[in-house]
Amino acid sequence: MKPFTYERPADVAEALAMAAAVPGSRFLAGGTNLVDLMKLQIEQPTHLVDVSRLPLAEIAETAEGGLRLGATTTNSQVAADMKVRARYPALAQAILSGASGQLRNKATTAGNLLQRTRCAYFYDTTKPCNKRQPGAGCAAIGGIYANTAIFGSSEACIATHPSDMAVAMSALDAQVEIAGPNGQERAISLEALHRLPGETPHIETSLQPGEMITAVVLPPPPPGGQIYRKARERASYAFAIGSVAVAGGKVALGAVAHKPWRARAAEQALADGANPAEAMAAELSSAKPDGHNDFKLKLMARLGAACLTTTGAGDGQ
């Protein structure tokens, strides 16, 4: 274990100041991903700022008719909230499909969004990985690993984002509230939070140094049905090999890209009168499988069409 220091702030301003004061600081909440990576020495923070007890664990109504989820609300808390279950069922379904009950009791909303890939080569420190060490190469390219991206990948990285929750939030057009050093605050769409790999896959989000997520804001629920469905290699406690979230006419896909993949082509096809199968075919026409993950084309076509039909989208009404 690498040595590190630890502090527990009293409020957001103090947390930001603590992080800014020590280069290499990281915010710690549930720790379900960060602590594991520290044990493997993939993450080596010099200083931990424990934000788990900050007053950011409230689920509140917004003036517009949506909900604001505090950054430290746990996954279990959000999934069990009756306002979430009634108005955003796709989000509750996505959260409950992830991890285990014990992990959901600790994992937080912000931490879930910021978890790193579960690519086998990322976790294997004997193999090169551009996300761990920029410029080292990508062992997954040409390697034996099937749960890789079919959209938005690059010659530097073909990993996928592991979050179920983020996929549902993307389909729901969620916004992320961010606080930064010196009191700056801003809000961005969840779609803009995560980056595609390009030549810099180690830069995973659009957060600036020293910034922290303080809340996720859900707009009023869209008209129409909602659903989240996940395909995985075993019935529980497994990451997706493909997932779909539908909220009204909005569609997002999981385990197919370095970020939750908003299916804009499918959405446009539905708006133009396509049926569910045609809409998914339009989206998947631009996919670029690598051989090991060719199965994702048929998987996502069927899973997506089933979700669209269930929610009454396209000709499946």
Neighbours of 133 (CB within 10 A): 12
| Paired sense of beta strands 67-70 and 59-61, if any | antiparallel
pLDDT recorded at residue 182 = 85
pLDDT recorded at residue 287 = 98
pLDDT recorded at residue 47 = 98
pLDDT recorded at residue 313 = 83
pLDDT recorded at residue 56 = 98
Spatial separation of the C-alpha atoms in residues 226 and 246, rounded to whole Å: 5
pLDDT recorded at residue 277 = 98
Report DSSP letters for 293-317, one per residue: TTHHHHHHHHHHHHHHHHHT-GGG-
Query: From first to last of its 317 residues, what are the pLDDT tens digits of the chain?
Result: 789 999 999 999 999 999 999 999 999 999 999 999 999 999 999 999 999 999 999 999 999 999 999 999 999 999 999 999 999 999 999 999 999 999 999 999 999 999 999 999 999 999 999 999 999 999 999 999 999 999 999 999 999 999 999 999 999 999 999 999 988 999 999 999 999 999 999 999 999 999 999 999 999 999 999 999 999 999 889 999 999 999 999 999 999 999 999 999 999 999 999 999 999 999 999 999 999 999 999 999 999 999 999 999 875 44
Name the residue among 4, 12, 46 with its Cα closest to residue 29: 12
3-state helix, strand and coil shares in percent for the chain, rounded to the nearest 5: 30, 20, 50
